[in-house]
Amino acid sequence: MTDLSRLKVLVSGAGPAGLTMAACLAARGCRPVLIERAPAARTTGYGIDVHENGWDVAARLGVLDAIRAAGMELGPLCYHDLDGRLIVRRDGALLERSARGKLVVLGRDRLVAILEEHLAAAHDLAPERGRSIAALDQDEKGVTTRFEDGQTGRWDLVIAADGIRSRTRDLAFGSKAVGAVLPLGYSVAAWHMPGLDIPGNGFAGFMGIGRQALFYATEAGRTAALFCWRTDDRPPRDPALLVPLLRHLFLENGPAAPLIRSALEGSVDWSRAHVDQVAQSVMPGWSAGRVVLLGDAAHCGSFLSGQGTSMAMAGAWILARELARLNAIHDATAAYEAQLRPVVDRLQRAARRVGPHYLPASRRALLLRRLLLPVLTSAPVFALESRGLMPRSLITDA
């Protein structure tokens, strides 16, 4: 057993992965330093799913009730053609049943706020915002970091939880990190706006050839919009380029549903939108000496897997447990990867298979998807298909 109170740990990145990691370490007696490049918590992105693994970690940390209270109501799931013609409508409880009753959908910003509040109240810890690693060097006894502000630190372990394009990963792994980001051939733009009329306050999806739009009601009468399309190029973040592109893709190729038109012709705060390629992170190994990868820095599955947050939370719990259980850091990081990697590898493969169905590439593929969707979303078939994307819990206390 390792006395974690003596371990000096730096966690880089204060998203759900880094915050959960800090909470798991603190629960075992360690007081990590948690840094975050962004000066304020991010309010962009789309809703995230907390599935069984994330649920079980949240329960052990004592934040499950708060997460459930912040969750969105799982209203009806309605899929349409881009022009608004209904293809299929299903009860939102279908998702919950397939997740064995352990599913919460909530905004990423709400999860971050809950975890930050827990860290402060339970452990008197808070992220040091506006800080990031500029350089690091390690030897057998530890890691020396130099921060962007010129300060330095010395650590027994550095945990990179700074996302799919992790700067910490690049610094630690060097050439081994080249090609870590694997684009899947799609791009996404997501934002929040004043509430639009969604039937039953549920989820409304619209699909066309190489395009899909999704809307769902969030808290305080607001609506989240997510637009995804096939492309090999990174999407422009400049609204002067992005807005015409989205309008061309979704409004100028035939009739568009009123929800789509309202979203693309209304006022949007693009500074708070999430715009990026849909991609995965694939690394040959998750640790380099005393630096270990966590969450999207190690194994981003893309939003197509629906499991990124839960796997990050599971990884944090497992890594903290192995650090407490084993004497050598490299043994702990190896045990963490050995337990988690088979599951996330399977989820990544499943997400890559989902993409072509989510965004049909041809008129024939779209017609086939339209014909099959009522069958695929029927309760028995959906439950069977979901097994590959809803792994059983890896969380144990031992």
In this prediction, residue 255 carries a pLDDT of: 85
**Residue 254, both tokens:** 């035939």
Q: What is the per-residue pLDDT for 337? A: 98
pTM of the model: 0.94
* pLDDT tens, residue by residue, 7-33: 999 999 999 999 999 999 999 999 999
Most confident of 43-47, 338-342, 373-377: 338-342
Q: Residue 282 and residue 184: Cα distance in Å, rounded? A: 12
What pLDDT was estimated at residue 266?
86
pLDDT in tens, 244-261: 999 999 999 888 899 999
**What percentage of the chain reaches a pLDDT higher than 70?**
96
CA distance 61 to 392: 19
DSSP readout, 162-182?
A: S-TT-HHHHHHHGGGGTT-EE
What distances in angstroms separate CA 18 from CA 313, 319, 382, one per listed residue? 9, 12, 32
Please give the pLDDT value at position 162.
98
Instruction: Please provide the DSSP assignment of 257-313 as one string.
Output: -HHHHHHHHS---GGG-EEEEEEEE--S-SEETTEEE-THHHH---TTTS-HHHHHH
Of the candidate ranges 8-12, 96-100, 127-131, 191-195, the one whose mean pLDDT is the lowest: 96-100
Report the pLDDT value the prediction gives residue 91, as an integer from 0 to 100.
Answer: 81
Q: In 3-state terms, what secondary structure has residue 153? A: strand
How is residue 302 written in tokens? 């893309």
Most confident of 37-46, 64-73, 334-343: 334-343
Question: Could you give the CA distance from residue 91 to residue 109 in angstroms, rounded to a whole number?
Answer: 26
pLDDT digits (tens, 9 = 90+) for 354-365: 888 889 999 999
Of 54-63, 166-175, 218-227, 355-364, the poorest mean pLDDT is in 218-227
117 against 369, higher pLDDT: 117
Q: What is the pLDDT of residues 150-201, one digit of tens each?
A: 999 999 999 999 999 999 999 999 999 999 999 999 999 999 888 777 866 6
What is the pLDDT of the chain when averaged over all its residues? 92
Asked if the model's pLDDT at residue 300 lies above 80, the reply is: yes
Expressed in angstroms, the distance from the first to the final Cα of the chain is 12
What is the predicted pLDDT for the residue at 376? 80
Examine the pLDDT at 46 and tell me if it is beyond 80. Answer: no
Angle between helical axes of 379-386 and 363-376 (0-180°, round to 10): 110
